[in-house]
Amino acid sequence: MASNKPSANRANPRRRRRQNGVSLMLAIVLIIIALLMGGLAGYAVAKRTNPYLHELQATKDRVTELENTLTLIGYPVDEDVDPDQWLYDSNLEENALAELDGDTWDDDLDEDVWSDESLLDGTLPEDGESVVVAEFDGGQLMSDEVIPAYNDQLTTAIFAGHSADEVAESTLNAVMEQLAGDKIIAAQAKELGLTELSDADLEQINAQAAANYERQINDYLAFTGEGDRDAAVQQLTENGITLESITEQLKQNWWSQKFYDHTVKDVTVTDEEIQARYDALLAEQKADFDATPENFEYAHLAGAAIVYRPADYRAVRDILIAFDSDADADRAAELMGRLDLIDGDEQALAEARAELDALFAPLEKKAEEVQQKLADGAAFADLMDEYGTSEALKDEPLRSEGFYITDASYVNSVEFVEGSMVLEQPGQVSAPLRSEYGLHLVEYVADLTPGEVPLEEVRDAVAADALKQKQAEYYDQQRKDLLEKANVKYYPERLH
């Protein structure tokens, strides 16, 4: 996969369950919070262009943030606590956003989460006369530019479990330096003619906006465990997230990537630097992947340079017989989610399974067609092109390499993993495996040799990784030099 973030639309976005679950209502509330905070957390990314900071790390940080939020609001985290015993009031309204007004919350939760002593402590009022809080050669920074960004960043930090007293000053300084730097760099970019959008720029912006918007929808569906795309779109819209808003934000910030590319275009790496990067990656990955093997799977999906492989992994790829309509896919997702929740009601289980069988029946006929072509000697890769595959495997190198899985994988669904792991040797193809996207025929591609991957096998990937790191460091230094030359003076005391 070319992007830095694992697609939500792969073999099956339903993950294996962790030992500690989360109630559906709690998940909904947290995703609303995450969506509301999305623009806030995204501020740093939008304002600081650095392609070496992979979305994989951002994803991990987001999970950590939500887990910290659970702790903040009193959710029990001990492994021996039944998560279903800690539920919201069943009388809560269906619109989770409306529940955040405090009218239907438990009073203790409202006090803990929304009081001045916690969430809002340290934020600055956004009304009042705007004053100069920084000045530099050729421009100045105003308080009405700083305060909203500062409040956003501080609130995000508090939701991540930090104390306002501990991070308020450093957050304010960082925001002021960032915004002043952005203005200085924007002026430089304008002088270089990099702020004008060409037809090629607009084409890239529209494509990226569409992909980002689709990812937002998939993230919402994955968090809630539901398949109602229309509801996801409505909720995003209510929170100000639309295709148009994403497109406009990209247009406003597109110059920053162009300036970054212009700045680092002449940076290169030597053989010695490539070797040093390989050695560093090897030490990092050996410690990380041995301790947490699923990080190996995520790193592979993220397109990272892999120089170490844990034991007992194999590579698999699939042919996807997809549903003909989003409605069928949504209904399948809903029913499969229901099967996970129904406990002891045999009639309800039978009804859900019967409806699922009916939905999958036409796909099973097409899967038989694919199986026959395979039996007649058709190449698996050719049938991937003819019938399609999981979203993550559409592009090289993942299309050839496939997913990396073991019997304890968490990246794909239980059904996908178990159906893949029963295959006995490379070249074998599984029976049709169900997901909310359709049926998957999985090919066992190869066993992965565990241990160190020789540098000569991954030289190009390591060289690209080393170059990104060196470019990022070079850009950071150039940015600092520009700020120093601009004689920036800050007046944070004017904000209090």
Domain ranges of the chain: 193-265, 312-449
What sign does the dihedral 374-378-384-385 (CA atoms) show? negative
Q: What is the pLDDT of residue 191?
A: 93
What are the start-end ranges of the E strands in 398-462? 403-405, 433-435, 438-447, 451-452
Fold of domain 312-449: Chitinase A; domain 3 (3.10.50)
Prediction pTM value? 0.67
Residues of the chain with pLDDT under 70: 1-121, 222-223, 225-227
Angle, vertex CA 373, rays to CA 370 and CA 374, nearest 5: 90
State the Cα–Cα distance between residues 364 and 431, nearest whole angstrom. Answer: 10
pLDDT tens-place string over residues 229-245: 888 899 899 988 999 99
Q: What is the pLDDT of residue 261?
A: 95
Classify residue 323 as exposed, middle or buried by CB count within 10 Å of its CB (0-12, 13-18, 19+).
buried
**The one-letter amino acid at 86:** W
Q: What is the pLDDT of residue 446?
A: 96
β-strand 132-136 against 139-142: which pairing, if any? antiparallel
Record the tokens describing residue 346, joined without a space.
């045999």
pLDDT tens-place string over residues 370-409: 999 999 999 999 999 999 888 888 888 888 899 999 998 8
What are the backbone dihedrals phi and psi of residue 443, each rounded to the nearest 5 degrees, phi first?
A: -100, 130
State the Cα–Cα distance between residues 401 and 445, nearest whole angstrom. Answer: 8
